[in-house]
Amino acid sequence: MKFSEIKSDQWESLRPYLDTCLLPLTGLSGAETPAQTTEELVRLQTVMDRVEAPYKGRVVTYPALHYMFVDGRFAERVEALCASIKAGGFRFVILATANAAIGGMTFANADLLLTETMAGEGQATVARAIDALWHSPQPPQSPPQSPPQP
């Protein structure tokens, strides 16, 4: 399910069932040609297809983080983003990427890094990883914080 398919008045009632966020990471530098950019997005979608359709009733796909930037703080920014997503009400964050450099990174605030290699091993491999994630002991989740009222 895409984030845009959830109406604001539905979120509270759906939140118990939609506990997992899929966050796509493209890893573009900006130096790619249009054809290369298209190729990267197609590769990423192939990875995402292993999660989106089979787990539509539990996973919400968020907008992709497309650019890595050159300041060397990509992993730090992804970590902060994962923490924010969890603070917003998701219990799990699955990162999806077809970029080998991102696939070699570690993200402590993400619960699963789904790479092109893993997706290429087949749906059964992805299903085992997601099943293990959902059945692993998790620390109690704090309720989401409401924004301060003016």
Q: What pLDDT digit, counting tens, does each position of 90-148 carry?
A: 999 999 999 999 999 999 999 999 999 999 999 999 999 999 999 987 655 544 444 44
Nearest residue to 53 via CA among 30, 22, 78, 85: 22
pTM of the model as a whole: 0.85
Sorted by where each starts, the structural domains of the chain and their CATH numbers stand as 3-134 (3.40.50)
Q: What pLDDT digit, counting tens, does each position of 64-76 carry?
A: 999 987 677 899 9
